[in-house]
């Protein structure tokens, strides 16, 4: 970890106070233990720094997508339980056991392969059953055939080298207000509890039961079971346009600088494809950010194009977004000069007519999750506390 000065080129600011505030809000709402989902490098926020902050704030557990994410958390000092939500090569049973990492088991075929590898390595792997109640990705298919799913899990529980300490499922449409989706979510919840009750009635001890994702735990805190899994809401963003959670504070702001300012005469064009030609004199600034940094090319200038802010005023994108540079109109922002700070997106743009993560997601036909996860790791993460930098993570220098 480096705390030395970094080049102001294109960087992300991560507000640790906002992260702590969001976690505290979630825990108050849920009224029980909250696990932090920090897969995809903490949704682009940098798990090496944010996970220890969340553990200190009281996170009861962590959830990741793969073994490398889990072992990375251990290297960075995380001591709480870590659950891998997806697939791990069964031959890595020894690494799971060595790291005291919990593995999701989602089929009898997978359980048998993991058991064989664990036996061969002379280890025991901690596991949680993954039940499919309607998400349709991975899991014992309770929605298709509850009896068969329960029987399969009970067979898995008897396999050597595996210790089952929990069970979970995932909601498909808990972030929707449509009547059919609300009914579907409620059915998923009911079905999951039926599975848990059946397994417990048959003698299985499952200390950790969890089913609620970001939307479900805030809309149905009574569904918390033994643990909830907070993902996007940790980072201050709503799970969907249907579900607004009052009090969340966006954690990420993408910033850059102006590298060049020029006057554009009528008839002159900018960027690839010459998609913008000035009809009247304009003043144009080049900003050090592009699609290689995670700024979508779909924000190229025109109707629905991107809008950054400079000196607290909106600066619309002109022409096509390039790999590493983007042009913006600063005609109405007097005094714009080389080196000026640019807010590409973030909560500070709210009310300025410039972009936030949510407005960019709407403009590009995607979700805020994809935008923040897509910020390239070449972009340094600058961690703020009380408004001042306390840590800097520059991936290109660290690795």
Host H or E run for residue 39 = helix 39-43
Q: What are phi and psi of 43, to 5 degrees?
A: 55, 40
For residues 172 and 215, the answer to whether their CB atoms sit within 8 Å is no
Residue listed under structure tokens 């009547």: 179
Question: Measured between alpha carbons, how far is 367 from 324 in angstroms, rounded to an integer?
Answer: 23
Question: Measured between alpha carbons, how far is 61 from 83 in angstroms, rounded to an integer?
Answer: 8
Which residues, in sequence order, are CB contacts of 370 under 8 Å at separation 6+? 361
Question: Measured between alpha carbons, how far is 18 from 192 in angstroms, rounded to an integer?
Answer: 33
DSSP state of 380: P
Task: Return the structure tokens found at 286.
Answer: 């080049």
3-state DSSP percent of the chain in helix, strand and coil, to 5: 35, 25, 40
Beta bridge partners of 282: 264
Which of the residues 39, 110, 235, 255 is marked catalytic? 39
Beta bridge partners of 318: 327
Host H or E run for residue 51 = helix 47-57
Which of the residues 235, 272, 369, 383 is marked catalytic? 272
- Is residue 39 part of the annotated active site? The answer reads yes
Residue listed under structure tokens 């106070």: 17
For the annotated catalytic residues, the residue numbers are 39, 272
């Amino acid at each position: 970890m480096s705390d030395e000065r970094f080049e102001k080129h294109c960087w992300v600011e991560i507000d640790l106070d906002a992260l702590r505030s969001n976690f505290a809000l979630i825990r108050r709402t849920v009224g029980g233990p909250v696990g932090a989902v920090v897969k995809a490098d903490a949704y682009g926020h940098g798990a090496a720094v944010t996970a220890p902050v969340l553990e200190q704030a009281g996170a009861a557990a962590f959830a990741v997508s793969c073994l490398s994410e889990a072992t990375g958390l251990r290297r960075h000092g995380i001591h709480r339980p870590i659950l891998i939500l997806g697939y791990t090569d069964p031959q890595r049973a020894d690494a799971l056991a060595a790291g005291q990492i919990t593995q999701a088991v989602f089929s009898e075929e997978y359980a048998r392969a993991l058991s064989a590898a664990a036996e061969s390595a002379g280890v025991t792997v901690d596991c949680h059953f993954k039940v499919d109640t309607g998400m349709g990705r991975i899991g014992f298919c309770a929605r298709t055939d509850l009896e068969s799913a329960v029987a399969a899990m009970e067979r898995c529980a008897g396999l050597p080298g595996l210790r089952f300490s929990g069970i979970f499922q995932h909601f498909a449409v808990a972030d929707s207000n449509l009547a059919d989706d609300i009914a579907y979510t409620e059915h998923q919840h009911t079905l999951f509890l039926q599975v848990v009750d059946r397994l417990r009635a048959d003698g299985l001890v499952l200390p950790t039961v969890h089913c609620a994702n970001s939307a479900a735990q805030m809309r149905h805190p009574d569904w918390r079971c033994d643990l909830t899994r907070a993902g996007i809401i940790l980072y201050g963003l709503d799970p969907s346009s249907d579900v607004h959670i009052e009090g969340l504070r966006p954690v990420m702001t993408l910033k850059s600088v102006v590298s060049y300012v020029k006057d554009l005469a009528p008839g002159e064009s900018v960027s690839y494809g010459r998609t913008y030609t000035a009809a009247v004199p304009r003043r144009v600034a080049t900003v050090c950010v592009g699609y290689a940094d995670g700024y979508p090319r779909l924000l190229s200038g025109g109707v629905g194009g991107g809008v950054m802010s400079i000196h607290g005023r909106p600066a619309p994108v002109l022409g096509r977004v390039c790999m590493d540079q983007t042009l913006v109109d600063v005609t109405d922002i007097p005094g714009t000069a080389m080196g000026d700070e640019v807010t590409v997106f973030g909560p500070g743009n709210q009310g300025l007519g410039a972009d936030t993560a949510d407005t960019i997601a709407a403009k590009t036909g995607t979700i805020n999750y994809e935008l923040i996860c897509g910020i390239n790791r070449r972009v340094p993460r600058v961690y703020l506390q009380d408004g001042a930098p306390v840590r800097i993570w520059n991936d290109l220098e660290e690795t």
